[in-house]
A and B are shown apart, each in its own frame.
Chain A
Amino acid sequence: MKRNRLVSLLRHRFVAVPLAIAIAVAAWNVYVSQHDDGIVRGEVVGPDGRPVAGATVSMMEQNFTTNSDRGKTTTRGDGSFEFTDNRSHNIQLRAEKPGVGRSDLVVVRLYFRAENVTLREPLRIKPSS
C-alpha cells in the first residue's frame, strides 16, 4: 500500500519532472567533474599536410570583448601539442613557425570550462607571403 502510494507520488508530474531535471543536472555535474582537467590536444601541419615540429602554438582566452594571452607551447617531433592549464570555455589557438608561416586563428568552443578536448582538425600553417 505504502509502495503504491510512493510510486504514484513519483509518477506525479510535479514530482517526476523536477526529479528528472535533478538527476540530469547531477549526471551532468559528475560528467563535468570527470572531464575538466583543462587539457587541449592537437596537431600542427604544414602547407604540405606533414606534421611540423618545433612550431609555437599560442592559446588565447576570449572574454566579453577582448582576447587575452593564456600561454604558449611548442610542438613535438610528430607535430602534436598539448596545453594542460586551460580554464576557459572559449579559446583561440594559433600556430606559428619562423620561416614556415602561421596558421589562421582557430576558435575552440567548449561545453564547460576546462573541458578536455582534442582538436579534430590540425592547425594548418600557411606560408607567409
Chain B
Amino acid sequence: MSAPGRPKCESRPLGGSEAREPDGPPRGRTGESEARATFDTPRVSGDHTMASRRTRRAFEHASLHAALIVVSFCMLLPFYWVLKTSLTGENIFVYPPSVVPVDPHLFYYVDVWYFIPFPRYLLNSVVVSVLAIAANVVFNALAAYALTKHFRGRGAIITVLLSCMMIPFQTTIVPAYLITAKLGLLNSYLGLALPTFSTIICIFVYKASFEAVPRSLIDAARIDGLSELAIIRRIMLPLATSAVATNVVLSFVWSWNNFLWPLIIVRDPDMQTLPLGLSRFLSYHENTTGALYAFCIMVLAPGILLFLMAQKEFIRGLTSGATKA
C-alpha cells in the first residue's frame, strides 16, 4: 500500500522486470519498453551530461590526487632520507647519493641506546610529556568552559588571551625562570612541564567544541543536579573527544620537542630530556652520521606514532576549531 499523498514510484531494482508493484499487478516487459520509448530522447542527452560530468569529476579527482602525491612526496622525502641514513650511515655529501638503502642495518640504533643514557632521557621526556598532556586536558577544559559563559569582561579576557598568543616564549623566559626558581622547581619534572601546562590555542580548540554542545543539554544536566565541574567531566568532555585528542597531540608534540626551556632550567645530566640529549650527543660525537640520524628517528617516533593513532580526532578537532571559533 502506498503512502497517502505520495507519488507512485516508477523505479524498480535491476533485473526486476517481473517484480510486482507494491499495490498493483505484475508488470511485464511490454510496459517497461513503453516507458523506455517514452523517455528515450531526454535520457540520451541526460546520459551524455552525466557521463561528461563523471569524466570531469574523475579528472578533478585524479589531478587533486596527483597534486597531493607530489606534495606528500616533497614532505616525506626528508623523512625518508633521515630513515635511510639511519640505516646505512651513508655520508650526506656522497655523490651520487643512493636512493635505495645499501646494506641497511640497525646497529646505529644500538649505538645510540648505549653510547648515551638514552633510556633515562626517554623516561624524562615521557614523564614531562604525560604531565603536560594531563594538565592541558584538564586546565584548558576548565578555562574553555568558563569562556563559553557570558559574564562581564569576557571579551576583554578573550582579547588578552589572543594577544598573548603573539608573544614568543623567548621574551618571557626570564620571568618564567625566576618564578620556577622561586618555587624551587629547577631540575624537576614539574618545573620542566610547568610552562606547557596550558596553551591558549588549545583553550580555543576546547571552546569551539564546547560551544557546539546544545545549551539545553547543559541546562538539563544542571536541573538534574550536576555541578559545573561534573558538567565538564560528564557532559562536555565526552562530547568533545576531537578537542581532547587535539589537546593531547599538540601538548605532547610541544613538550616533547621543547629544547630551550629544559636547556635553561636543567643542570643535572640525569634530568635531561631527549632534545637536550640530542645536542649532547652531537657535542660528544661528531663523526657519526648514522647514529645521529638514528637518534633523530628515535626522538621522532613516539610523536609520529601518537599522531597516527589520533589523527582522525586531531584533524576533526582542528577543523571544528577553525570554523566555530
Contact = CB atoms under 8 A, between A and B. Distances in A.
A17 interface: yes
Given A17-B309, A64-B115, A109 B285 contact: no
B244 to A, nearest CB: 11
What secondary structure prevails in chain A residues at the interface with B? loop
Contacts of B174: none
Size range of the interface on B? 10 to 19
Given A14-B309, A17-B305, A64-B115, A110 B110 contact: yes
Contact of A109 (B110, B115, B310): B110
Nearest to A90: B111
A64 B110 contact: no
B106 A113 contact: no
Interface in B101-153: 105-107, 110-111, 114-115
A113 B114 contact: yes
Given A64-B284, A64-B285, A65-B285, A112 B305 contact: no
Nearest to A62: B111
A13 interface: yes
A13 B110 contact: no
Interface in B254-309: 284-285, 305, 309
A63 B285 CA distance: 11
A109 B89 CA distance: 14
Nearest to B302: A21
Interface of A: 13-14, 17, 63-65, 89-90, 109-113
Interface of B: 105-107, 110-111, 114-115, 284-285, 305, 309-310
19 contacts: A13-B309, A14-B310, A17-B309, A63-B115, A64-B115, A64-B284, A89-B111, A89-B114, A90-B107, A90-B110, A90-B111, A90-B114, A109-B105, A109-B107, A110-B110, A111-B106, A111-B110, A112-B110, A113-B114
